[in-house]
């Protein structure tokens, strides 16, 4: 059996690892010159958003036979709006390093592979690969292939700008900022890499590079971060968000972000990428139904994304009120310090009440977005 994997990100590497365990060696084609994002960053996996599986580290280990090591455990989250601030404490999740460093989760998954060849500097044509291989797993992290297959439903684009700053930080604390003046209905965050370095990033929906630079500067000024010294700043490529109509077309399987498995609330998708990659391998080699395996992942992502539909028209006053609600003692305990699957439950309710409509077109958005 010949399997090609296009892309050596989390989903592609997880798929290759499972293929090896099932005694099939795939070929991985990576257009970059090495494994891992070219820009180092720290990502969050919040426990609140993964209650459907419990502890994600344990779940991945027990159900997918993969041991991934988080960079830090998240003990404190501070959320700020223009006129409000709340502090949440507890076992709130984990941070992971992405990039080319030895601690990056990308490198951890690559190190698990024993015999699989990763062909770097090798852009791959989906059409050609589908002819040469029995199966092709699309793990590019882009919507291009799903759109080419007529399976992509677009829900807008997200732009990111940020960098690695030097300062004094608590590695177990992350701060999230909501302010429509610079983020629209996106958000900004400071997530420490160590006691002396932190990722500082702004996530904005539907803005070009020039506008993004202005908004990032305004974020730093507004939040009193303008004196931070940056080791570097970067602006990763804009990425599309959306969902797919099907996860498999002929001998082609879509995984990770290429399958729309990134939530549109905070842009989180690492766990879904890993799980869908493993599911693709099991489907191909063990003859399982890939659509059935991966559909619960999509349902979870769509439940998270349902909150985005409500936030599309949020004002700063709305964010102030939201933080007041989330900081109320009873709500605070219910949401953060219990095992209630709050996000899936309320996301499902929101979908039923408001439907699953994609975001408004940019020309239809309110001023300041």
Domain at 46, CATH number: 3.50.50.60
Nearest Cα to Cα of residue 348 among 299, 303, 310: 303
Residue 351 counted as domain residue? no
State which residues of the chain have pLDDT below 70. Answer: 207-208, 331-369
Nearest Cα to Cα of residue 35 among 124, 88, 108: 108
Here the tokens at position 124 are: 């791959």
Residue 12 counted as domain residue? yes
> In whole angstroms, how far apart are CA 272 and each of 40, 108, 193, 321, 365?
20, 17, 23, 31, 30
Residue 142 counted as domain residue? yes
Count CA atoms within 13 Å of residue 167 on its CB side: 18
Give the pLDDT of residue 363.
32
DSSP conformation class of 206: S
Residue 141 counted as domain residue? yes
Q: Which domain holds residue 142?
A: 3-74+99-155+239-306
Give, in degrees to the nearest 5, the angle at Cα 313 between 308 and 315: 110
Terminal-to-terminal C-alpha distance of the chain: 50
Residue 359 counted as domain residue? no
Rounded CA-CA distance 226/66 in Å is 40
Residue 133 counted as domain residue? yes
Nearest Cα to Cα of residue 153 among 314, 310, 43, 302: 302
> In whole angstroms, how far apart are CA 209 and each of 112, 158, 236?
37, 12, 10
> In whole angstroms, how far apart are CA 4 and each of 134, 245, 330?
8, 22, 51
Count CA atoms within 13 Å of residue 51 on its CB side: 20
Give the pLDDT of residue 307.
81
Residue 251 counted as domain residue? yes
Give the pLDDT of residue 63.
94
Rounded CA-CA distance 294/289 in Å is 9
Residue 331 counted as domain residue? no
Give the pLDDT of residue 364.
35
> In whole angstroms, how far apart are CA 197 and each of 14, 159, 184, 230, 232?
29, 23, 26, 9, 11
Q: How many domains does the chain have?
A: 1
């Amino acid at each position: 059996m010949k399997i090609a994997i296009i892309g050596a990100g989390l989903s592609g590497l997880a798929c290759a690892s499972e293929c090896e365990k099932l005694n099939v060696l795939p070929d991985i084609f990576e257009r970059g010159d090495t494994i891992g994002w070219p820009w180092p960053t720290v990502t969050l996996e919040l426990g609140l958003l993964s209650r459907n599986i419990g502890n994600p580290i344990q779940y991945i280990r027990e159900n997918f036979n993969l041991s991934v090591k988080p960079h830090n455990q998240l003990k404190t989250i501070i959320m700020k709006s223009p006129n409000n601030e709340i502090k949440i404490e507890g076992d709130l999740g984990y941070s992971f390093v992405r990039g080319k460093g030895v601690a990056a989760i990308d490198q951890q998954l690559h190190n698990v592979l024993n015999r699989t060849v990763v062909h770097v500097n090798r852009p791959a044509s989906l059409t050609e690969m589908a002819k040469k291989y029995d199966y092709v797993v699309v793990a590019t992290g882009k919507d291009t292939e799903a759109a080419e297959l007529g399976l992509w439903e677009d829900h807008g684009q997200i732009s990111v700008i940020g960098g690695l700053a030097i300062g004094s930080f608590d590695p177990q604390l992350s701060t999230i900022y909501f302010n429509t003046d610079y983020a629209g209905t996106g958000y900004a965050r400071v997530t420490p890499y160590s006691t002396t370095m932190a990722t500082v990033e702004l996530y904005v929906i539907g803005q070009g590079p020039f506008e993004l630079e202005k908004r990032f500067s305004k974020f730093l000024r507004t939040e009193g971060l303008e004196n931070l010294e940056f080791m570097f700043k970067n602006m990763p490529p804009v990425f599309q968000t959306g969902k797919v109509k099907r996860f498999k077309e002929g001998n082609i399987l879509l995984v990770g972000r290429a399958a729309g498995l990134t939530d549109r609330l905070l842009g989180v998708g690492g766990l879904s990428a890993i799980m869908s990659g493993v599911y693709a391998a099991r489907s191909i080699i063990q003859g399982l139904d890939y659509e059935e395996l991966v559909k619960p992942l999509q349902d979870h992502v769509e439940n998270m994304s349902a909150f985005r539909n409500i936030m599309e028209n949020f004002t700063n006053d709305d964010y102030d009120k939201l933080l007041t609600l989330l900081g109320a003692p009873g709500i605070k305990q219910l949401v953060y310090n219990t095992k209630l699957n709050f996000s899936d439950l309320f996301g499902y309710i929101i979908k039923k009440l408001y439907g699953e409509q994609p975001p408004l077109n940019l020309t239809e958005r309110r001023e300041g977005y």
